[in-house]
């Protein structure tokens, strides 16, 4: 794969297509330079798989993209797990944003 810009939207499209994801949230934690992402991926493909197998599935699906970025974090859930967590948290279903200010890493130029 030729080196192309990795963005929130290109990752979201790739995850939706390659993992049959029903819901994807991608956040660029690097202030827009495309080097650090956190994601929430909801896919029926994760059913019956433990966390390690889910992450391996995601890493295989995004092999070329992940090779081009510095940091990657994925929260992988089945649609049932996502719905249950969403109900329990009152709708706060996005990826973890610990250590950020407004979803961006402190000290990164915007």
Written as one string, the DSSP assignment of 30-97 is TSSSSSEEEEEEE-GGGTT--HHHHHHHHHHHTHHHHHT-SEEEEEEE-HHHHHHHHHHTTT--S---
Average pLDDT of the chain? 86
Contact 40, 95 (CB under 8 A): yes
pLDDT reported for residue 102: 62
- What CATH number corresponds to the domain at position 55? 3.30.300.90
pLDDT, position 97 = 61
Displacement of CA 1 from its chain's centroid (Å):
20
Q: Residue 74 domain-assigned?
A: yes
> 74-86 b/e with 16+ CB inside 10 Å = b?
bbbbbeeebeebe
Is the pLDDT confidence value at 88 over 90? no
- pLDDT at residue 27, as a whole number: 93
pLDDT of residue 14: 96
**Looking at the predicted structure, is the pLDDT value of residue 105 above 80?**
no
Give per-residue pLDDT as tens, 23-75.
Answer: 999 999 988 777 899 999 999 999 999 999 999 999 999 999 999 999 999 99
Residue 71 lies in a domain: yes
Instruction: List CB contacts of 40: < 8 A, sequence separation 6 or more.
Output: 23, 24, 25, 74, 75, 77, 82, 93, 94, 95
**36 in a structural domain:** yes
Domain that holds residue 65: 19-84
Overall number of domains in the chain: 1
Split at pLDDT 50, 70, 90, the class of 86 is confident
């Amino acid at each position: 794969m030729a080196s192309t810009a990795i963005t929130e939207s290109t990752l979201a499209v790739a995850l939706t297509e390659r993992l049959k994801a029903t819901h994807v949230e991608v956040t660029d934690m690097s202030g827009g330079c495309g080097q650090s992402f956190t994601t929430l991926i909801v896919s029926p493909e994760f059913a019956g798989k433990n966390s390690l197998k889910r992450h391996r599935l995601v890493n295989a699906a995004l092999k070329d993209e992940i090779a081009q970025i510095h940091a990657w974090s994925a929260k992988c859930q089945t649609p049932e797990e996502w719905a249950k967590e969403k109900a329990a948290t009152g709708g706060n279903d996005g990826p973890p944003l610990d250590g950020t200010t407004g979803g961006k890493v402190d000290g990164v130029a915007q």
